[in-house]
């Protein structure tokens, strides 16, 4: 209902604008509207970028406010602009533009942007943002790379050829898988293992892939088993976490109960949603979804997947995944016999018993943020 009111008020605003004459061009809108003078300056400073953007029609533009651009200039990302110049600005603006007039954002989900340059993305349909409309806040929340969140400010403006939403934070062009998981999302063990196995370049060259990335504590809990593997077996384990030519967004996985996914190792993974609506990949619990990467999407899981393990569905009330390898933390240092104890992997039972190290699978709805519940319910 609120959404309808909001859409109606947006339409009323546009009708008023139309009554007063035609809509301004995008450039005139940015030039004449308070709060966009920095964006205007950027556009005027790079005429070829300005001309390519203003040549577009039927588009939705997310336009960073002055405050957003000031804050952007304080982040490490700003160096990409100072070093990349027009090329980076073009990519960054493309990542803020959708093909089509989206005055209808309601359902949570990925939206393809105009960023398609292979220097910045290997998503063939364009890099995505994730957006949902928050009816109580009268705003759209948007997620981009590095798990960063932006919000729209007030009502959208119409211009000749599209619609413009002011936003309070510059979108973050997603980095490589390794970059995206090495920060606060706690997937650096996987990135390090890819690197040590010499797989990083091969992984980054994939297009439209899904990466099931174990959280560091899930990795650590079976590190003794992993360190006992031959290099070839470890490569197989790593490739078993990657599904090429498939984009496992939350909205897709949610509909994929029982579906198998063919991984880079050639073996298959199975998606499960149990009756408690918890999501699992084989026996590993899904803990966080929809983190965009340069060439796909990252799904965090609570355990390492084992291509040679037996796979059984989780129990109907399981909340956490179970280890697919014998647990035990590898001893580092002296190089002597490892003294830590191991357990046998509970691959055949999936009791849902979680080790103390595991973070616990969040409920399906909580996976993509509590505010989103307003939309889903």
Ligand X SMILES: *[C@@H]1O[C@H](CO)[C@@H](O)[C@H](O)[C@H]1NC(C)=O
Residues found near ligand X in the complex (CB under 6 A):
27-28, 31, 57-58, 76-77, 100-102, 104, 118, 120-122, 146, 176, 183-186, 204-205, 257-258, 273-275, 277, 294-295, 359
- The angle subtended at Cα 297 by Cα 296 and Cα 302, nearest 5°, is 140
Nearer to ligand X, 76 or 335 (CB): 76
DSSP characters over 161-227 = TEEEEEESS-------HHHHHSSTT--HHHHHHHHHTT-HHHHHT-SSEEEEEE-HHHHHHTHHHHH
| 289 φ, ψ (degrees, to nearest 5) | -125, 170
Nearer to ligand X, 65 or 295 (CB): 295
Considering the complex, what minimum distance in angstroms separates the CB of residue 283 from ligand X?
14
Q: How far apart are CA 196 and CA 142, in angstroms?
A: 34
Nearer to ligand X, 27 or 371 (CB): 27
Nearer to ligand X, 122 or 263 (CB): 122
What are the tokens at 356?
């103390």
Considering the complex, what minimum distance in angstroms separates the CB of residue 339 from ligand X?
24
For 204-237, b/e burial (b = at least 16 CB within 10 A) is bebebbbbbbbbbbbbbbbbbbbeeeeeeebbbb
Considering the complex, what minimum distance in angstroms separates the CB of residue 341 from ligand X?
23
Q: How far apart are CA 21 and CA 259, in angstroms?
A: 54
- Which one, of 114, 132, 213, 125, lies nearest residue 173 by Cα? 114
Beta bridge partners of 159: 162
Considering the complex, what minimum distance in angstroms separates the CB of residue 229 from ligand X?
25
Nearer to ligand X, 29 or 193 (CB): 29
Nearer to ligand X, 67 or 317 (CB): 317
Contact 127, 147 (CB under 8 A): no
Considering the complex, what minimum distance in angstroms separates the CB of residue 138 from ligand X?
18
Considering the complex, what minimum distance in angstroms separates the CB of residue 326 from ligand X?
23
Contact 301, 323 (CB under 8 A): no
Considering the complex, what minimum distance in angstroms separates the CB of residue 344 from ligand X?
26
Nearer to ligand X, 240 or 272 (CB): 272
- Which residue number places its CB atom closest to ligand X? 100
Q: What is the radius of gyration, based on Cα positions, of the chain? A: 23
In terms of DSSP bridges, do strands 157-159 and 148-151 run parallel, antiparallel, or are they unpaired? unpaired
DSSP characters over 323-368 = -SS---PPP-SS-S----------TTT---PPPTT---PPPTTGGG
Nearer to ligand X, 105 or 197 (CB): 105
Nearer to ligand X, 184 or 336 (CB): 184
- Which one, of 177, 152, 176, 174, lies nearest residue 165 by Cα? 152
| 8 φ, ψ (degrees, to nearest 5) | -60, -45
Considering the complex, what minimum distance in angstroms separates the CB of residue 184 from ligand X?
5
Nearer to ligand X, 245 or 275 (CB): 275
Considering the complex, what minimum distance in angstroms separates the CB of residue 254 from ligand X?
9
Considering the complex, what minimum distance in angstroms separates the CB of residue 6 from ligand X?
15
């Amino acid at each position: 209902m609120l959404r309808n009111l909001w859409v109606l008020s947006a339409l009323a605003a546009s009708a008023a604008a139309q009554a007063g004459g035609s809509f301004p061009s995008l450039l005139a809108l940015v030039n004449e509207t308070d709060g966009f003078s920095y964006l205007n300056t950027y556009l005027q400073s790079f005429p070829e970028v300005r001309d390519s953007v203003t040549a577009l029609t039927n588009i939705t533009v997310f336009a960073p406010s002055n405050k957003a651009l000031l804050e952007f200039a304080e982040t490490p990302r700003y160096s990409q602009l100072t070093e990349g110049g027009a090329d980076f600005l073009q990519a960054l603006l493309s990542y803020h533009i959708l093909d089509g007039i989206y005055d209808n954002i309601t359902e949570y989900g990925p939206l393809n942007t105009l960023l398609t340059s292979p220097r910045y993305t290997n998503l063939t349909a364009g890099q995505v943002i994730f957006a949902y409309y928050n009816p109580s806040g009268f705003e759209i929340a948007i997620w981009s790379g590095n798990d960063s969140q932006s919000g729209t400010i007030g009502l959208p403006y119409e211009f000749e050829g599209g619609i413009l939403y002011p936003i309070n934070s510059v979108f973050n062009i997603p980095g490589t898988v390794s970059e995206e998981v090495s920060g606060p999302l706690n997937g650096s063990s996987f990135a390090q293992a890819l690197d040590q196995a010499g797989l990083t370049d091969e992984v980054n060259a994939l297009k439209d892939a899904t990466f099931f990335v174990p959280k560091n504590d899930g990795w650590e809990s079976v590190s003794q088993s992993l360190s006992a593997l031959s290099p070839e077996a470890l490569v197989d384990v790593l490739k078993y976490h990657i599904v090429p030519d498939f984009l496992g967004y939350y909205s897709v996985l949610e509909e994929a109960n029982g579906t198998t996914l063919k991984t880079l190792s050639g073996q298959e993974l199975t998606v499960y949603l149990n009756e408690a609506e918890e999501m699992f990949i084989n026996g590993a619990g899904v803990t966080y979804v929809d983190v965009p990467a340069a060439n796909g999407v990252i799904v965090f899981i609570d355990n390492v997947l084992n291509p040679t393990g037996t796979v059984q569905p989780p129990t109907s009330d399981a909340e956490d995944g179970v280890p697919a390898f014998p647990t035990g933390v590898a001893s580092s240092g002296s190089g002597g016999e490892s003294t830590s104890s191991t357990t046998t992997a509970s691959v055949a039972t999936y009791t849902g018993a979680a080790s103390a190290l595991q973070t616990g699978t969040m409920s399906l709805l909580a996976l993509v943020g509590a505010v989103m519940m307003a939309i889903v319910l």
